[in-house]
């Protein structure tokens, strides 16, 4: 019998089991975002496109990367809730992972980078309410403030300080949706949860429903997140087989230049993420850290700095410079902000009652963590 996604997941989580490749996928995705953004930030209006658009005919590389992030997030976040059982603990874990690094990034952009590159006089920059509202508005994720006074205003793409932030309000709202699932105990009832998730995606795809978050693009990301959640809910009967992946890829290729290509490619991409994550053994050196979030947060501002310092940089030149710089900053974010925050959260959890003494979550066989 062909192993299922659930079989691979349990093997990856066992004491002596194999590891998965999700960290590698997240690192690739975060770096791919930098590559994709290079063609907007360094070549807007030139007609140059990245390899995804040129050879696959599917949007662009950054779009694939963000889709990958949301599929993995939907899968892992749903699993986190299922294992924890506690909605409050789930929300605390999500907040610890999302907000500390975001806050530091916003402070660095507004209070360190901004004063160094603004065209405004220093006194005017510090007195401008936009300088301070940039941190407050973007931290609470109710809306996105794109600009700082006099920052990047002459760049080729324009003045957005961090164009990557637009996905974070969507991600945060998906966490809240999963938390509601936890309060209603829907995760324990697979088919009820499945119908609810599908209904939510259909609702989100209706015109006007998610306009404040980005309209159709926000609905796409919600659909990818929901796809990851559905993969988790049905992990115990979903086989991971290269033949099925190849079939989905051939179907997608056959749908090129048709209205169905977007859907077919997305289906192959979602399935391929989990095949790559769990089937092949791809060992990573022990020193590799999870710098994917920091890479995602700092990539755009660093690329905008490069665009300001060298307006003639090509997309590939910008990418070659931005990737190592962003990795270095992301490594600092991991060691100085993200990992300490996670360690504090783990210490707090350690003070709670032992997991071994707690009952299993109904229908999962897993302790609620």
**Residue with tokens 């961090």, as numbered in its chain:** 162
Query: Quick one: 213 exposed, middle or buried, by C-beta within 10 A (0-12, 13-18, 19+)?
Result: buried
Domain range for 56: 5-338
- For residue 346, tell me if it sits in a domain: no
Centre a 10 Å sphere on the Cβ of residue 292 and count the other Cβ atoms it contains.
Answer: 24
17-43: b (≥16 Cβ within 10 Å) or e: eeebbbbbbbbebbbbbbbbbbbbbbb
- For residue 232, tell me if it sits in a domain: yes
- For residue 360, tell me if it sits in a domain: no
- For residue 154, tell me if it sits in a domain: yes
Residues of the chain with pLDDT under 50: 14-17, 354-369
**Residue with tokens 């974010």, as numbered in its chain:** 333
- For residue 210, tell me if it sits in a domain: yes
Half-sphere exposure of 167 (CA within 13 A, CB side): 22
Q: For residue 239, report the phi and psi dihedrals to the nearest 5 degrees.
A: -75, 150
Do 161 and 109 contact (CB within 8 A), yes or no?
A: yes
- For residue 354, tell me if it sits in a domain: no
Span 82-117, pLDDT tens digits: 888 789 989 999 999 999 999 999 999 999 999 999
Count of residues for the chain?
369
Looking at residue 349, what is its pLDDT?
Answer: 78
Looking at residue 323, what is its pLDDT?
Answer: 98
- Structural domains counted in the chain: 1
- For residue 245, tell me if it sits in a domain: yes
- For residue 120, tell me if it sits in a domain: yes
Query: Quick one: 16 exposed, middle or buried, by C-beta within 10 A (0-12, 13-18, 19+)?
Result: exposed
């Amino acid at each position: 019998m062909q192993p299922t996604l659930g079989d691979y997941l349990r093997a990856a989580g066992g004491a002596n089991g194999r590891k998965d490749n999700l960290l590698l996928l997240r690192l690739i995705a975060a770096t791919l975002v930098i590559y994709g953004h290079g063609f907007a930030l360094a070549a807007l209006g030139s007609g140059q496109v990245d390899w995804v658009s040129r050879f696959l005919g599917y949007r662009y590389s950054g779009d694939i990367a963000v889709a990958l992030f949301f599929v993995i997030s939907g899968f892992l976040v749903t699993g986190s809730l299922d294992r924890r059982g506690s909605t409050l603990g789930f929300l605390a874990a999500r907040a610890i992972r999302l907000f500390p690094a975001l806050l530091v990034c916003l402070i660095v952009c507004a209070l360190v980078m901004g004063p160094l590159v603004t065209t405004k006089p220093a006194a005017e920059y510090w007195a401008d309410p936009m300088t301070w509202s940039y941190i407050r508005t973007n931290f609470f994720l109710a809306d996105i403030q794109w600009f700082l006074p006099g920052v990047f205003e002459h760049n080729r793409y324009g003045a957005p300080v961090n164009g990557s932030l637009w996905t974070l309000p969507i991600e945060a709202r998906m966490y809240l949706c999963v938390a509601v699932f936890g309060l209603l105990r829907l995760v324990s009832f697979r088919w009820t949860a499945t119908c609810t998730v599908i209904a939510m995606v259909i609702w989100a795809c209706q015109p006007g429903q998610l306009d404040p978050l980005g309209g159709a693009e926000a609905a796409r990301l919600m659909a990818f997140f929901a796809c990851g959640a559905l993969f988790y809910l049905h992990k115990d009967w979903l086989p991971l087989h290269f033949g099925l992946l190849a079939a989905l890829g051939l179907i997608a290729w056959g749908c090129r230049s048709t209205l169905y290509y977007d859907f077919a490619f997305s289906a192959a991409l979602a399935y391929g993420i989990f095949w790559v994550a769990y089937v092949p053994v791809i060992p990573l050196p022990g020193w590799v850290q999870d710098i994917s979030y920091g890479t995602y947060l700092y990539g755009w501002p660093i690329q905008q700095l490069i665009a300001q310092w060298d307006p003639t940089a090509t997309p590939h030149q910008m990418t070659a410079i931005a990737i190592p710089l962003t990795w270095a900053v992301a490594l600092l974010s991991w060691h100085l902000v993200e990992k300490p925050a996670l360690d504090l959260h783990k210490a707090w959890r350690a003070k709670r009652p032992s997991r071994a003494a707690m009952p299993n979550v109904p229908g999962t066989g897993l302790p609620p963590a």
